[in-house]
Structure 1
Amino acid sequence: MTTNKRTAQRECTFGEKYLEINGKSLFVTIKGQGDPIIFIHGGPGGSLEYFLPYMEPLAESYQVILYDQAGCGKSERDKLDHYSLEDEINNLELIRTALNLDKVTLFGESWGSILALSYAAKYPFNIHKLILTAAIGLSSIDYQTFKKTLLQKMGSYKKMKLGYYSLVAALGGNVSEKVNILMDPYYVYSVETLTKKKEIQNNKRALNKISRDIEKEYNLLPSIDQIENLPVLIAQGSHDILSTAFIEKNVMKHLKNAELVEVKESGHWTILEQPEQIRKLTKSFLEARETVSLRN
């Protein structure tokens, strides 16, 4: 019985697989060989498709592991539509153990940066390095700042339209496309980039429930000692909703072994706008010798 279990886990090492995690089937795709990088998509409610094909070239040097979070993409929806930050932390740990991985590098984008940091705070000894892009911060206060800043950029008229669409959606209307048309330009440096954007079917229940969970529960500052010395790279777009100045002031002072890089000509969706630069930063960071900086 033990041999069969281990064989099944080894078979999960390559290709596209479904793993039974917390009573749900989660879709995982694995490419390449080498030190493992687990990519954590944004949303909440997004999909691993956001990383494709932009991060695939890293599979020439690393084992690239992508997965759809619970209820997202090709993964099974929760029958009770129960989604939470804590569940996603547990799911990530069970994926790591199911794939027989030791220390891993986590690459978290947007909401994925919150999940990566939260996982690291709970399981710091499982982390090799952390790579964060479109970072949100370390607490619900930073998350609220992100949302407020986004709304300020939109202006009064478009905020009213967004409010109207939210009301229509609450009454059962399908306004996803209209909301995307309204919101997407604020996530990029150049609207021309949107011609490359994949239309991903988001799980709205996961989005709403995990967003509320972040607002109520997300605060890594009391457990900052768990992550403050981990090697961290933050690649923030020059025109992201939360600026590099904000990240420097509110995040970097808490992370002693972190590096902050501004990704030029990029908004929140750095992987979409500057994929080559993100790949280069990733390889450079992973190949660098680990040193602890003396950040005050």
Structure 2
Amino acid sequence: MEGKHITINGKSIYVCVKGKGEPIIFLHGGPGGSHEYFLPQMEPLAEGFQIILYDQTGCGKSGGDTYSIEEEISTLEGIRKSLKLEKVTLFGESWGSILALSYAARYPSHIHKIILTAAIGLSSKGYGTFKKIFLQKLGPYKKMLLGYYSLSSIFRVDASRKLNNLIDPSYVYSVDTLKKKKEIRYNKEALENIGRDIEQNYNLFPSLSKIDALPILIAQGSHDILPPAYIRENVLPYLRNAELVEVKESGHWTILEQPGQILRLIRLFIGGHGDSELDSF
């Protein structure tokens, strides 16, 4: 996908737009990842929708060096205005799910629908639970290596690769999936700063009245670190217009493991098909 740079709040933000129809803006995870995570898996949607992918502040091909939830809400609103979009559907993955809900709480009138995958929750509690379960899955030996590689990666490129090799299997249902994973360079500063911001400030409970009526679909991997049962108990009771679909044979990276399921879910949900079709998914 060919993209262009748009100046938003003094930053050069890299944005890709393809197709025509209902606009869907994709919010990548990380924090510190890039839009390339969605490619080429989500590109077929351009046949029926306008898909918009972008790199968040300081990530991928975008500029900027201030990292926070507020900064990313502002950037996303800048993209919406720049592209002259009245209402958008947001697709948020992992940290992108936090951004999608945070943006919606600020600008509910700009939202058509929201789709979340690898969802984290409505407050810093979900983020803390995610980190806790993730470290439990690693076990003591890998946890020790994680600390070593994290420190080494500041100085050595090969340590970053070893770090990925160590933690990536925890994100997938089948390690064979990792063969098709793109090597994406992460912005470690964005990861640390936004991670800290989530821990200290992320809490949507005071804003629930602004988002609880929005149509929300949560597509959670059957073997995600926060599984569908967690979302059912800790998220669904607070969002009266949200529905949960389990993405079978998938971990945290649903787009990588089950792109076909995700594409079908997006088309069904935005196309306005009935709950029964989603239930039978």
Q: Structure 2 length normalisation: TM-score?
A: 0.95
Work out the CA distance in 1 between the residues paired with 2:127 and 2:35.
Answer: 22
Match of 1:17, as an amino acid?
K
Task: Give the Å deviation of 1:234.
Answer: 0.2
Work out the CA distance in 2 between the residues paired with 1:122 and 1:51.
Answer: 25
Q: Which structure 2 residue ranges, 5 or more long, are not aligned?
A: 276-281
Task: Give the Å deviation of 1:122.
Answer: 0.3
CA offsets per residue over residues 175-196 of structure 1, 9 Å max, x none?
2111100000000000000000
Task: Give the Å deviation of 1:35.
Answer: 0.7
Work out the CA distance in 2 between the residues paired with 1:132 and 1:151.
Answer: 23
CA offsets per residue over residues 204-246 of structure 1, 9 Å max, x none?
1111111011111100011111100000000000000001000
Match of 2:228, as an amino acid?
T
Work out the CA distance in 1 between the residues paired with 2:228 and 2:239.
Answer: 15
1:70 aligns to what SS in structure 2?
coil
1:230 aligns to what SS in structure 2?
coil
2:129 aligns to what SS in structure 1?
helix
Structure 1 residue aligned with 2:199: 215
Structure 2 residue aligned with 1:285: 269
CA offsets per residue over residues 143-202 of structure 1, 9 Å max, x none?
0000000000111111111122233346x3442111100000000000000000000011
Match of 2:23, as an amino acid?
P
Contact 1:70 1:88 in 2 (8 A): yes
Structure 2 residue aligned with 1:85: 69
Work out the CA distance in 1 between the residues paired with 2:193 and 2:123.
Answer: 17
Match of 1:93, as an amino acid?
E
Structure 2 residue aligned with 1:107: 91
Work out the CA distance in 1 between the residues paired with 2:167 and 2:8.
Answer: 33
Work out the CA distance in 1 between the residues paired with 2:88 and 2:255.
Answer: 21
CA offsets per residue over residues 107-142 of structure 1, 9 Å max, x none?
000000000000000000000000000001010011
Say whether 1:202 aligns with 2:189: no
Task: Give the Å deviation of 1:254.
Answer: 0.4
1:94 aligns to what SS in structure 2?
helix
Question: Aligned match of 2:116 in 132, 136, 142?
Answer: 132
Question: Aligned match of 2:218 in 234, 244, 268?
Answer: 234
Say whether 1:17 aligns with 2:4: yes
Say whether 1:32 aligns with 2:19: yes
Question: Aligned match of 1:51 in 32, 38, 50?
Answer: 38
Contact 2:217 2:269 in 1 (8 A): yes
1:247 aligns to what SS in structure 2?
helix
1:18 aligns to what SS in structure 2?
strand
Q: Which structure 1 residue ranges, 5 or more long, are not aligned?
A: 1-13, 292-296
Q: Percent identity?
A: 66
Match of 1:219, as an amino acid?
N
Work out the CA distance in 1 between the residues paired with 2:84 and 2:175.
Answer: 42
Contact 1:140 1:216 in 2 (8 A): yes
Question: Aligned match of 1:153 in 130, 134, 137?
Answer: 137
Task: Give the Å deviation of 1:17.
Answer: 1.6
Match of 2:177, as an amino acid?
T
The verdict on how the C-alpha distance between 1:90 and 1:290 changes in structure 2, with shifts beyond 3 A counting, is farther
Contact 2:150 2:160 in 1 (8 A): no
Contact 1:231 1:290 in 2 (8 A): no
Question: Aligned match of 2:61 in 65, 68, 74?
Answer: 74
2:224 aligns to what SS in structure 1?
coil
Task: Give the Å deviation of 1:15.
Answer: 5.4
Question: Aligned match of 1:121 in 90, 101, 105?
Answer: 105
Work out the CA distance in 1 between the residues paired with 2:83 and 2:148.
Answer: 45
Structure 2 residue aligned with 1:225: 209
